[in-house]
Each structure stands twice: as structure tokens, then as C-alpha cells.
Amino acid sequence: MLQENKKILREEYRRRRDAFVSQLDAPTRNLAFRRPPSPLAALLQQNNDVALYSAIGSEAPTSRLAEYLADEGKTFAFPVATPNAPLIFRRVPAMDMLVSGYKDIPEPGPECQQVDPDLIIAPLVAFDRSLNRLGQGQGHYDRTFAEYPGATRVGLAWSVQETDSVPVNDNDIRLHMIVTESEIIQEVNPTP
């Protein structure tokens, strides 16, 4: 029943996200996450190895955050995915070093150095105010969060992806913060 509820929720919130993003022109979409709001900017400053993701389709874009990190002299990494395993993060000096990987998602090649991230910025399909995240359903990020328990977990999303309650099980790991184009939702007393 839980898996069926998650499947239905994924379908609905992918449609919502797609419809919302389809109404945005390219400059508006790219500028939405151009400058990180101060709580996220503070986290970016406090952490050395920041893991981003390659946005696909209507996911909240990360390219402007990569530019911001580069301007700040910070290291950033992108995930390399394999089925049924935690993500591996590889440092990239520039976005153009990403190549087509698992399910055609852009990822760093093997020549890029592997890093253990301090901060993981993750995509999501839906979220709730309790900082629960509904992902694509493969469990990559939950396995990764378990692999890096000391890393701060941040979800990046559009505001239309908020739902009243995300169904969770024992394998689902909450985020510390969710950043949308219009607000930040975070723990009162963040703990890894």
C-alpha cells in the first residue's frame, strides 16, 4: 500500500512540476535559484565539498548554484549512479566535464576525483513541511544519505512540489532543509 501511494504521489507531483515549469520562460527558470538565500549560502560557505545534481526535465536547476560555488572558490561534485547502490560523488571543475551516464543523466567521468561530500543537495519529486522527501523511487539518495550520515541534506524543489504529507518507511531519511524558489523550510535545531 505504501509503495502504491508513493507511485500515485510521484505521478501527480511530476505533472504539477512539469505544468509549473512549462509556464516559466528560460531566464525566469534559470534565475530562480541564481543566488542562494542566506541560510543556504551560509551552509555553502561552511562546507568544503558540496554535492549537486544534474537537473533533468523540470527538476529545480543547479547550474546557477554551481556557478555560485565556483565564484566562491568552493569544490563541487556531481553523482555517479549505479543500480541499487549509494551514489558516488566526483569533483568537477566545470559543468562541461559531465558526460552521459546512468539513464542518460549527466555525470562526471572516471577521470574526476571521488570526494566525500559535507553537503548534499538532492532533487525530489515531492516534499512536506516535516522535511520528508519523495524521490524517483530507486532509493539512490536514501542509500547515499545513510552512507554519509554526517553530511547536511538539502532538497531543491519548486514550491508546487509541496504536499501535505509524504508517505515514509524506515529507509526514508529526512532532509535538514528544503529550498524552493519562494522559501526555505528547515529544522529548528539542525542535526546531521
pLDDT 10s digits, 11-53: 999 999 999 999 998 777 776 776 676 788 888 888 889 999 9
pTM for the predicted model, two decimal places: 0.91
CA distances from 26 to 18, 61, 179 (A): 14, 11, 20
> Is 174 a domain residue?
yes
Q: Helix and strand tally (H, E) in the chain?
A: 5, 12
> Is 191 a domain residue?
no
Average pLDDT of the residues in 150-159: 96
Average pLDDT of the residues in 94-118: 84
State how far the Cα of 177 lies from the Cα of 86, in Å rounded to an integer: 21
Higher-confidence residue: 73 or 31?
Answer: 73
The domain that holds 35 is classified in CATH as 3.40.50.10420
> Is 56 a domain residue?
yes
For residue 60, give its domain range.
2-186
> Is 80 a domain residue?
yes
**Residues that constitute the known binding site:** 6-10, 59, 133-141
> Is 68 a domain residue?
yes
Confidence of residue 1 (pLDDT cuts 50, 70, 90): confident
State how far the Cα of 190 lies from the Cα of 175, in Å rounded to an integer: 10
- The answer on pLDDT for 132 being more than 90 is yes
**Residues that constitute the known binding site for substrate:** 59
How many distinct structural domains can be found in the chain?
A: 1
> Is 74 a domain residue?
yes
pLDDT at 127: 97
- The answer on pLDDT for 93 being more than 80 is no
> Is 176 a domain residue?
yes
State how far the Cα of 182 lies from the Cα of 192, in Å rounded to an integer: 25
- The answer on pLDDT for 191 being more than 70 is no
Average pLDDT of the residues in 96-107: 79
The one-letter amino acid code at 143 reads R
**Residues that constitute the known binding site for ATP:** 6-10, 133-141
Average pLDDT across the chain, whole number: 89
pLDDT at 189: 59
Burial of 24 (0-12, 13-18, 19+ CB in 10 A): middle
Residue 22 phi/psi, 5° resolution? Answer: -65, -20
> Is 102 a domain residue?
yes
